[in-house]
Structure 1
Amino acid sequence: MNTKEDPVAETSRHLEHTEKTRLLSTSRSVDRGLRIGHPKAASKARKLLVMLSCVMQLFICNGIGYGLSVMYAELVVVLDAKRADAALVQSLNMGLSAGAGILFAGFIKKYGPGICIVVASVTSSIGLFVSCFANGIGLIICFTGVLTGLAMCVCYFASFVTISLLFYKDPGFYLISMTCGTSLGQFIIPLFFEIFISQYAWSGAFILLSGLCLNCLQFGLIIHFSRDFFYKGNVQNNKSLRASAFCDVSLLTDYLIWILWSNCFLLALTANVEAWFIVDHAVSIGLTRESGSLMVSAVGLGNLIGRIIGSAIRLKCTKTPTVYHWIYLCVLTAAIHLFVPNVGEVFPLILACLATGIAMGTTAAQAPAIMFEASGLDRYPQGMAMVNVMYGIGEMLGPLLGGMVKDLLGTYDLIFYIASGVSAYMSVSTIVAAYSIRRRVLWTLPIKRFGIGLCMLWELYWDV
């Protein structure tokens, strides 16, 4: 009796898994023979320690970049700097820390993520420390914006590499959980900025922040001394992966992928306008800087809540394409952007910032799954790498353009209205993307099944 499973059914289920797989499910890839040997088995305590080390990398790196919105309002006043120039500090720092990691991927692979984090933490600390001696905004742009931003991108990117190497059998859950460090940093570190500036002025705050960055060093050492437990793949296969990592022409000719990349760019460009400008906006309408700092922290808290909600939505709505959720989330975000410039009291603005953080966190948490559903298993690494690049470019340009609008018009109202319009456009373009993904699932899969069926019939004919 032939107990072998029907190849057509088996292939069909594989195709369905490819179209609607769970986020970053890489266990099958590992099981297909990519390994040349199992690494040492890590204990639960070591896994937890490495996990916490990676969470702290995101906590510090993203938190400092996010908290620069508090420093932005202070530098405008103390150094009498143009808002466009002061915004360049944060835009460069956040943009480079998010999107420049691809430049250092070779170093991380060659020397290991732990050593790279150690070097990067010292470099980022130097950049912040030198900024305290600045007499103008230019030195701060160079050292905090560029040097510290480039160093932080190494810590940020190496954390994802570390998790994928240690939890190589199924890293998806751990990668999602690790991103909570970003939201925690965005919630807590802006409060540190406010305390440091209030007690030690802006120059003393840079010194204390440089010490905070050095905490990445000890966690980098923990990661480095756990390297024996990291997954090492087949050397020949890794060479082929490196050769094709950024050369998939089909991505560049796929209009659906470009729609999603554009939406990711627009999300990074406009979704954070409250976080970037709410402190200076609060001061400009007669509120205190302290209340503005609370609003920034409210965005960070909402971001954490939103990421948890986004993960829950992804786990519960497994049969619904993830991109569908962006349609109503973008409409909700557009409504919140419209609300902010039309209120002038502290408590409503704090609630608006909390709602903004929830909407943004929920939206951003689903981006990796959306890209997977659009690109498929084979093209996912390249597609997600470009998503990070789009995020970096958007976060670099957003504060700069917003500061220029404020310098020209003297108010931030137009920025919030533009952000609302962009969110509405993203909802419409997401409908187009959702239709395209649905058409691929409904038409591509039956066509592939039909082709496989013909091949099976041909083989049966020759067997007879």
Structure 2
Amino acid sequence: MSGEGNTGEDEREVMAVVPQDAKAPDGGWGWVCVVGRFFIVALSAGLTSGFGIMYVEIINYFDTTRAETAWMSSLFGGMNCVGGLFGGAAIERYGCRATTVIGSILACAGFVISYFSPNIYLLCFAYGILVGSGFAFMYVSSSVVVLQYFDKRRGLAMSISSLGDGVGMLVLPPLTYLLIETYSWRGAFLVTAGITLNAAVFGLLFKPPPYLSKASQKRSARRSVLHSFKQLLQNKLFFVFAFGSFLLHVGYTVPLIHLIDLVILKGVEKSRSTLLMSVMGTASLVSIVIFGWISDLPNVSRIGLHSASIAVLGASVMAVPSLDTEVAFFVFAGIFGVFMGAWYMGQGVLVSQIVGVELTSIAFGVHSLHTGSGMFLSSILAGWLFDITGSYVLPFYISGCLYLCASLVTLIVLIARRRVTDHSHNHPATRDSPSQM
């Protein structure tokens, strides 16, 4: 995780390509945007992990197979790729504020339609497509606006806003269980619709930082979304990193969505199984703060930290099928939560560092295309494998292997980054040029 000499500073110098006239305020109104992203991340993470409870209820209500029901979460992930891509383009054209509000309205509408759904097919459309695309819009825009406001404190700002990941996993799964017990799964969807609409309020606070509001007026006439995308295509290092994210997300939802079903099948009470997500959330809360601070230290390689965290996640997921006791499952939830927090916090920071602040919005959209494609395959693949084999052994093994492969790909990015660093030392004049690796 630590490089030789001052590799952490070299990494920031080579990878953070910022225009001469663009100076992030590293504070000010940016902290308001941090709070807004906190709320949106909490919603996204909490609802993703809480869907494992909803997943079991819908299987029982509609008497569907796990593969059929998994289409809901798979379409949700798929729309994260399409919605994220269009979200990045929308930010380029309309800004983070309008994009967030549109996403909140879309997600709210999806939850309301889910309440009235008479079958699994309409649920797949409402939850998978509408809610999925809405959250993609909100996540991309909230991440971009925070990255635009911060440079030197970027790791700290992203880690604080990413605390929503842990809070969401701590609060929303138990709340989802309580809502289902009180109002049924339909009522839970309706209450969630009202909660989601509050994201529009935070979206209205996402005004652009002063340097971008002035600079964008000068550049908007000559730089279109297509032009930004063409610039991004020249950055090979970014697409290697995005491919690693794709591999990880093919296995990503398996422990989050199917863990509760697995432990219930192993004899753990449903009310106890929902606490696993809360343990993950609590562990994630602590780790995001700690790893966010560590990632900003001068001698720490953020990419190395990212890769190591993914490797631990993969190893822990592969161990799940061999666990038999309730205590063992809670230990896994704690370990997974700690390193999930470290991985989650680093994603946005690394994307921005690799491509530079001007291309951050379009890069987030393209990155979402990769991660969403992986999530689309993830849940439905796990449900299909369960229906064939009758157990979750193979889905969890494959998920763990994919995490490990993603860690290796991220190591390739680390090696390539060091080559760029060495080249910059030997040719100082090229240091201010965008990395084409």
Decide: shared fold, TM above 0.5: yes
- Alignment counterpart, residue 237 of structure 1, candidates 219, 229, 232: 219
Secondary structure in 2 matching 1:393: helix
Distance 1:289 1:241 in 2: 51
Distance 1:203 1:402 in 2: 25
Q: Report the more deviating stretch, 171-180 or 79-88.
A: 171-180
> Matched residues in 2 for 1:445 and 1:65: separation?
42
Aligned length: 422
Q: Give the direction of change, closer, same or farther, for the CA distance of 1:326–1:160 in structure 2 (3 Å limit).
A: closer
Tell me how far 1:139 sits from its aligned partner.
0.9
Q: 1:247 to 1:84 in 2, by over 3 A?
A: same
Q: Deviations over 1:25-62 (max 9, x none)?
A: 67x63xx3359xx9xx9x96x66555423322222234
Question: Does 2:418 match 1:418?
Answer: no
Is 1:448–2:430 an aligned residue pair?
no
Q: Distance in 2 between matches of 1:427 and 1:286?
A: 33
Which residue pairs with 1:392 in the alignment? Answer: 372
Number of the residue aligned with 2:338: 358
Question: Hey, what does 1:218 align to over in structure 2?
Answer: 201
| Amino acid of the structure 2 residue aligned with 1:336 | S
Deviation at 1:128, TM superposition (A): 1.0
SS in 1 for 2:64: coil
State the AA in 1 paired with 2:386: K
**Amino acid aligned to 1:400:** I
In structure 2, C-alpha distance between the alignment counterparts of 1:284 and 1:232, rounded to whole Å = 54
Map of 1:288 onto structure 2 = 269
* Separation (CA, whole Å) in 2 of partners of 1:221 and 1:88: 33
Shift of 1:228: 9.8
Kindly state the Cα deviation for residue 365 of structure 1 after the two structures are TM-superposed. 2.4
- Counterpart Cα distance in 2 of 1:76 and 1:356: 26
Q: Distance in 1 between matches of 2:161 and 2:170?
A: 15
| Residues 379-425 of structure 1: CA deviation (Å, up to 9, x unaligned) | 76665543332222122221111111111111111111112222333
Bigger mean CA deviation after superposition, 270-279 or 117-126: 117-126
2:318 to 338, 341, 346: 338
Query: Match of 1:319, SS?
Result: coil
CA distance in structure 2 between the partners assigned to 1:425 and 1:320 by the alignment: 22
1:370-409 correspondence to structure 2 within 5 Å: 370-371=350-351, 383-409=363-389
Could you give the per-residue CA deviations for residues 71-116 of structure 1, whole angstroms, max 9, x where no partner exists?
0111111111121221121232244246623313454455554444
Cα deviation per residue 1:140-167 (whole Å; 9 max; x = unaligned)?
A: 10111111211222222232344356x3
1:342-378, Cα deviation, whole Å (9 max, x unpaired): 1222221011012112122212323345456666778
SS in structure 2 at match of 1:247: helix
What amino acid is the match of 1:208?
Answer: V
Separation (CA, whole Å) in 1 of partners of 2:307 and 2:94? 42
Residue 435 of structure 1 aligns with an amino acid whose one-letter code is I
Counterpart position of 2:11: 20
1:274 and 1:296 in contact (8 A); partners too = no
Residue 21 (structure 1) shift:
0.9
Partner of 1:12: none
Deviation per residue, 1:237-287 (Å, 9 max, x gap)? 2332644311137647x3x54442221111222244211111111122222
Aligned amino acid, residue 54 of structure 1 = R
The TM-score, its normalising length taken from structure 1, stands at: 0.79
Q: Which amino acid aligns with 2:293?
A: A
Report the secondary structure of 2:415's partner residue. Answer: helix
Does the CA-based 8 Å contact 2:91-2:141 persist in structure 1?
Answer: yes
User: Counterparts of 1:107 and 1:301 in 2: how far apart (Å)?
Assistant: 34
2:74 is equivalent to residue 88 of structure 1: no
Structure 1, unaligned runs of 5 or more:
1-15, 453-464
Contact 1:82–1:407 (CA under 8 A) maintained in structure 2: yes
SS at match of 1:100: helix
Code of the aligned partner of 2:21: G
Please give the secondary structure, in 2, of the residue aligned with 1:439.
Answer: helix
For residues 58-457 of structure 1, the aligned pairs below 5 Å read 58-97=41-80, 100-108=83-91, 110-163=93-146, 167=149, 172=154, 173-223=156-206, 231-234=212-215, 235-238=217-220, 239-240=222-223, 242-248=225-231, 251=234, 254=236, 256-316=237-297, 318-371=298-351, 383-442=363-422, 444-449=423-428
1:303-322 deviations in whole A, cap 9, x for unaligned? 33332233122123x33433
Please state whether the residue corresponding to 1:245 is helix, strand or coil. Answer: helix
Equivalent residue letter for 1:178? S
User: What displacement does 1:219 show?
Assistant: 3.0
Q: What is the distance in 2 between the residues matched to 1:287 and 1:357? A: 20
Q: Which has the larger radius of gyration?
A: 1
Could you tell me whether the CA contact under 8 Å between 1:18 and 1:377 is conserved in 2? no
Distance 1:168 1:314, change over 3 A: closer
Amino acid in the other structure paired with 1:232: S
- Bigger shift: residues 355-364 or 72-81: 355-364
TM-score, scaled relative to structure 2: 0.83
Unmatched 5+ stretches in structure 2: 1-6, 432-437
Shift, 1:22, TM fit: 7.2
- Residue 33 of structure 1 aligns with an amino acid whose one-letter code is D
CA change 1:385–1:125 in 2 (3 A) is closer
The 3 A distance-change label for structure 1 pair 260 and 140 is same
In structure 1, C-alpha distance between the alignment counterparts of 2:14 and 2:184, rounded to whole Å: 44
Residues 23, 85 of structure 1: alpha-carbon distance in 2 compared, 3 angstrom cutoff: farther
